[in-house]
């Protein structure tokens, strides 16, 4: 058995792959589950740090502390060299990411019963769109963080290529496959020739016909669903007595996972109080009071979780009614409900799915591949279940067979296979 592993550090969920003949390709990371949500909660009351589902449970139970999610989105941005405050102390974001990846490594080692010092890490086709310098910086930063977490040898593989290796392990004949990896932070695509015979080759560069990606993913769907349908319940779009719009920056920060904590500062609280005093419309006052209460109770991550829940429910349902019971104003009112249908979701994210569709078309064009030449579209990534997005991609290659992989595990499994090949 290989002593090297594959690490899929995801925006929303993370996995670790380890190639063992006849056994699962993924290691259990949280009890019997092979995924670990990419979440850290610093519990101030009990002075402890929890990860994954346990972190979300503690946060939603109302413990005082700081929740951090979508940490991967910091890579390649100016925020990466910043810090946040935890229990009155400054915590650099680099240290935060190293702490999470270190925890991921330790859990994988306990599950495997061996230590891992070598790893292939997954990376999106583009960490940062249209900026090769920032993109390279993001990979270099992730390598430094992985080494700080205890890996002494680190290599990288594109995430959709890793998913291709996982799919290839299950096919019986050659196929030209479009890998559609829709993750939490990015959408990545690869055109790859796959077959059982090609799988034994170490050098696969001639089999990769095209790559492309865009920095749009599930957290962006959550964000625009929230801005379109949730944030108006808190006053977004309202007009103040001075006939100017309610400032939108607070709502954009609350709708974006890695900026939620920015609304909890004393400066922002004073600004919100000033805005409230300039409201003379009774309905807007009620809605803005919900925002004030949400910020005071630090329930921003709860609201983001509810937006994500709405998106997930609409992957299967045509209509949903979602209770938003923590949205409260000074006056007793009926519990807030989010009523949403499939058309409402698609309208809020149409500009994103169109952009993703254009990226797919560009991958085909630059690879000089006609849509009718694609045999299979292989969907992976937790956000590939969004119905309108699948329809958008499917319409570009209508004759291709649509196959759903392990939405959360294909990349980690493929990285584990790749690690065995590279470090054998």
Please write the tens of the pLDDT for every residue from 280-309: 999 999 999 999 999 999 999 999 999 999
Highest mean pLDDT among 20-24, 75-79, 362-366: 362-366
Provide the pLDDT for residue 368.
97
Residue 125 has pLDDT above 80, yes or no: yes
Confidence tier at 2 by pLDDT (50, 70, 90): low
The 10s digit of each residue's pLDDT in 309-339 is 999 999 889 999 999 999 998 877 778 999 9
Compute the distance between CA of residue 240 and CA of residue 217 in angstroms, rounded to an integer.
Answer: 34
The 10s digit of each residue's pLDDT in 162-217 is 999 999 989 999 999 999 999 998 999 999 999 999 988 878 889 999 999 999 99
Provide the pLDDT for residue 281.
93
Q: Could you give the percent of the chain with pLDDT greater than 70?
A: 100
Provide the pLDDT for residue 260.
92
Residue 249 has pLDDT above 80, yes or no: yes
Are 37 and 13 in contact by the 8 Å Cβ rule? The answer is yes
Residue 197: CA count within 13 A, CB half-sphere: 4
Q: Which residue intervals of 29-149 are DSSP H helices? A: 52-60, 93-112, 132-148
Q: What is the mean pLDDT of the chain?
A: 93
Q: Could you give the percent of the chain with pLDDT greater than 90?
A: 78
Residue 128 has pLDDT above 80, yes or no: yes
b/e sequence 270-290, b meaning 16+ C-beta within 10 Å: eebeebbeebeeeebbbbbbb
* Fold (CATH) for 4-172+407-422: Nucleotidyltransferase; domain 5 (3.30.420)
Q: How far is CA 188 from CA 78, 134, 199, 269, in A?
A: 23, 17, 21, 39
Are 400 and 377 in contact by the 8 Å Cβ rule? The answer is yes
Provide the pLDDT for residue 201.
81
Nearest to 31 by CA among 51, 8, 2, 9: 51
Residue 1 has pLDDT above 70, yes or no: no
SS3 171: coil
Confidence tier at 417 by pLDDT (50, 70, 90): very high
Give me the mean pLDDT over the 342-367 stretch.
96
Residue 15: CA count within 13 A, CB half-sphere: 28
Give me the mean pLDDT over the 251-273 stretch.
94
Beta bridge pairs of residue 123: 158
So where are the chain's domains?
Answer: 4-172+407-422, 219-346
Are 39 and 55 in contact by the 8 Å Cβ rule? The answer is yes
Give me the mean pLDDT over the 3-7 stretch.
94
pTM here is: 0.87
93: Cα separation from own chain's centroid? 17
End-to-end CA distance of the chain: 9
DSSP 239-274: B-TTSSBPPSHHHHHHHSGGGGGGGGSHHHHHHHHH
The 10s digit of each residue's pLDDT in 144-169 is 999 999 999 999 999 999 999 999 98
Provide the pLDDT for residue 200.
82
Residue 271 has pLDDT above 90, yes or no: yes
């Amino acid at each position: 058995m290989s002593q090297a592993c594959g690490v899929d550090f995801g925006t929303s969920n993370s996995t670790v792959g380890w190639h063992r003949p006849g056994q699962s390709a993924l290691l259990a990371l949280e009890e019997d589950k092979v995924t670990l949500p990419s979440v850290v909660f610093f519990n101030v009351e009990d002075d402890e740090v929890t990860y994954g589902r346990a972190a979300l449970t503690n946060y939603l139970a109302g413990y005082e502390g700081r929740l951090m999610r979508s940490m991967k989105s910091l890579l390649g941005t100016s925020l990466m060299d910043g810090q946040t405050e935890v229990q009155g102390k400054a915590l650099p974001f680099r240290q935060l990411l190293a702490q999470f990846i270190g925890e991921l490594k330790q859990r994988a080692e306990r599950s495997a019963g061996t230590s891992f010092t070598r790893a292939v890490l997954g990376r999106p086709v583009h960490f940062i769109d249209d900026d090769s310098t920032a993109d390279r910086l993001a990979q270099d930063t992730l390598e430094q963080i992985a080494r700080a977490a205890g890996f002494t040898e680190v290599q990288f593989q594109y995430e959709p290529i890793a998913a291709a290796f996982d799919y290839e392990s299950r096919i019986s004949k050659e196929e030209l496959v479009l890998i559609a990896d829709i993750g939490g932070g990015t959408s990545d695509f690869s055109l790859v020739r796959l077959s059982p015979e090609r799988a034994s080759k170490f050098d696969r560069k001639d089999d990769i016909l095209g790559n492309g990606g865009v920095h749009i993913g599930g957290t962006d769907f959550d964000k625009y669903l929230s801005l379109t349908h949730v944030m108006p319940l808190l006053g977004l779009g309202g007009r103040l007595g001075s006939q100017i719009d309610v400032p939108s920056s607070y709502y954009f920060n609350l709708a974006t996972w890695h900026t939620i904590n920015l609304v909890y500062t004393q400066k922002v609280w004073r600004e919100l109080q000033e805005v409230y005093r300039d409201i003379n419309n009774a309905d807007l006052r009620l809605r803005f009071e919900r925002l004030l209460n949400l910020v005071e109770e630090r329930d921003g991550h709860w609201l983001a979780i509810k937006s994500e829940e709405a998106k997930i429910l609409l992957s299967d349902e045509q209509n949903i009614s979602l209770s938003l019971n923590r949205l409260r104003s000074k006056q007793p009112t009926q519990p807030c409900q989010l009523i949403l249908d499939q058309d409402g979701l698609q309208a809020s994210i149409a500009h994103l799915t169109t952009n993703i569709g254009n990226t797919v078309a560009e991958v085909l064009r630059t690879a000089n591949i006609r849509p009718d030449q694609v045999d299979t579209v292989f969907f992976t990534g937790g956000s590939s279940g969004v119905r309108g997005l699948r329809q958008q991609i499917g319409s570009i290659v209508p004759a291709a067979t649509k196959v759903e992989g392990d939405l959360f595990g294909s990349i980690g499994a493929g990285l584990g296979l790749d690690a065995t090949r590279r470090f054998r």
